[in-house]
A and B are shown apart, each in its own frame.
Chain A
Amino acid sequence: MISSVNVTFEQVRELAQRTVTDVRYPIVKTYTLDAIWVLYDRVLRVDPHRPDDPARDRFLLSKGHGPSAFYAVLAAKGFFPPDWLDDVASLESPLGSHPDATLVPGVEMSAGSLGHGLPLGVGLAHGLRAKGFDSRVFVLVGDAELDEGSNHEAIAYAGAIGLPNLNVIVADNDSASHGWRGGIASRFEVNGWSAATVDADDHEALYRSYATAHPDRPHVTVAVHRP
C-alpha cells in the first residue's frame, strides 16, 4: 500500500499503470500525469480529509480523457484507496473512463464531452469570489479540445473582465486536426491572458507557471508534449 504522505512521482506513475482506462489514448496517461501531479503535489490547496471544504482550490479535468493520471494522483493523495484503480470502468467501480464528480471524492466536475470545463470554471471562479474565498480554479483542456467554440467564448470573456483566479492548463500534444496557427498561447494572450509555454515533462517549469502571480488577469500554461 502506498501512503499518501511523501509519495514520489515514480510511485504515482506506477499507480497510473494499474488502470486500463486510456487504451484509446495511451500517451495521454503519461504527459497529463506530469501536469496533474505537479498541481496536486505543490500548488493546489485541497485536503483529502475535507474534500468538500468550500474554500478549497478547484481542479477541473475538462477533457475527461486521461483519467488514469487523474485517478492515480487522487489515490496517491489519499482521496480514495489505490485498490479502486484495479477495476476501473467495471460495473461496480466508481471510476469510469470519464470521471463522475458525484461518485468520486476529489473529482470536482463530471466530464467527458469536450468544451464544458472552461465555461464551468468561469462560473466557479466568479462564485468563489462572490463567497469571499481566495480559491483558485485550474482547468485542464487538450489542444484538440480547443476546437470546441465554447472554450473561445470563455477565453474571450474571462480575458476581457480579467478574472484573476482562473487558470487553464493546455495539454498540447499537437492533436488538433487543423493545428493552431500562431501558437496556442497567442490565442489566449490576444484576449488579455497571461501565458507561459513549457515542456510537459518539466516539473519545475510547470510549477513556475502554475505559481505565476497574475492579479489582474487569468493565466494559461501550455504544456507541450511532442512524442
Chain B
Amino acid sequence: MAFRADPLTDDLQPLTMRDAWASHLTDLVHTDPRVAVVLADISDDLFEEARKDHPDRVINVGIREQLLVGTAGGLALAGLRPIAHSYAPFLVERAFEQVKLDFEHQGTSGVLVSVGASYDWAEGSFTHFSPRDVALFDTVPGWRVFVPGHAAEVPPLLDRAVAADEGVYMRLSLRHNENPHAVPDDSLLVLREGNDATVVVVGPLLDNVLEATADLDVTVAYTNTPRPLDTVGLRELAADTGDAIVMVEPYLEGTSAWLVSQAYEDRPHRLLSIGVGREELRRYGTAAEHERLHGLDAAGIRARVRRFLGLA
C-alpha cells in the first residue's frame, strides 16, 4: 500500500517545523544541562546522536504515551526542563491526566511539543487529528501555547519555552505560511490596518487570512503565542474597528472565545470565531482539502468575514 503523504514530512518545504525544532533542540541538549528530551518513538531518528551522548537526558520510552508524559514529569521533579514530544492526539489527549497530575498537581512544569496538528495527515483520519488540544490546555492554569506559522519561527519560540517557568505547549504543523514573522514577545503583530473589524490570526493560517481580506477594510494582527492571548492589545486594536473582532485559529473553532468574552466584560463587542469544526468529517484526502472543508482556506474565510461585515 502506498501512502500519498508522509505524516511527518512535507515535500513542499525545504525544512519542516519538526526538522527546525529537532535541530535546535539538539543544540540545546548539548549546551544546556537542564534540557531533557522524552520521546515515544515518534522523531526518535532525529535524536540518535544526542541520545548516545546524553542517555539520561535524551530518552525514548517506546510507544508508551502515559510513560512519556510521566517520565517528563519525573525529570521536572529532578530539576530538569523536560521537552516531551509525540503526535498531538497521543501526547495531549491520551496522556492528559498525566499533564494534570504529573505536572500541574506536582507544582512543576515542562514543554510539550506536538506534530500532526488538526489534520496534517488527512490520510490518517480522525485517530491522528487533534483540533481540541489547545482547548484542553486552556483548562490547565498558566500554560502557554505557541503555534508557529513557519519553520523559522520555531527556534526562537523553543528558546522561550525552555527559558520559561510555566508549562508550554508547542503545536508544530506541516501547514505553514510563505514567510516567517518575528513576534518578539506575546504582543499581537499588526500586519494591516483597517476600520471595519480586527482579525486576529494564529500561526499557519496567516497567509489564508491575508489573501481572504486583501480588499477588505480590516485590521489583521498575527500571533504565534496565542496563550497568553494579548487581550490588552486586542482591545486597543478593536477600539478602532467598532469592537468587531474575528478570531481565526487552526484548531477547534471558538477555542479563544472565552478569553475575548472575559476581556470584554465591560464593553459590548461582536465576535466571529473561525476554526476547525466540531464534527468528525470521516473523510481522507489531503490537509489542503480538509482546510477547505472546514472553511479555513482563503475563500472560506473570506465568505464568513464578508457575512460578518454585512457585505454578503
Contacts and interface: CB of A to CB of B under 8 A. Distances in A.
Contact of B70 (A120, A127, A156): A120
Given A116-B98, A123-B82, A108 B77 contact: yes
B105 A124 contact: no
Contacts of B70: 116, 118-120, 122-123, 150, 154
Contacts of A120: 70-71, 73-74, 77, 102, 106
Interface in A143-181: 149-150, 153-154, 156-157, 160
B67 A157 contact: yes
A130 B80 contact: yes
B78 A123 contact: yes
A77 B71 CA distance: 29
A108 B105 CA distance: 12
Contact of B76 (A123, A128, A150): A123
Contacts, number: 110
Given A54-B79, A153-B64, A153-B66, A126 B71 contact: yes
A119 B57 contact: no
A156 B61 CA distance: 9
Contacts of A121: 74
Contacts of B102: 116, 119-120
Interface in A118-143: 118-131
B111 to A, nearest CB: 14
A101 interface: yes
A128 B78 CA distance: 6
A109 interface: yes
A2 B62 CA distance: 48
A11 interface: no
Contacts of A131: 33, 78-80
A125 to B, nearest CB: 7
Interface residues of B, number: 32
A93 to B, nearest CB: 18
Given A113-B97, A127-B36, A130-B57, A119 B67 contact: yes
Nearest to A128: B78
Given A101-B106, A119-B74, A122-B67, A127 B98 contact: no
Interface bracket on A: 20 to 34
A130 B107 CA distance: 21
A3 interface: no
A129 B75 CA distance: 10
B101 A102 contact: no
B74 A124 contact: yes
A115 interface: yes
Contact of A122 (B71, B101, B105, B107): B71
B81 to A, nearest CB: 10
B54 interface: yes
A191 interface: no
A119 B98 contact: yes
Nearest to A102: B107
A154 B74 CA distance: 12
Contacts of A109: 77, 106
Contact of B73 (A123, A130, A149, A153): A123
B67 A126 contact: no
B79 A126 contact: no
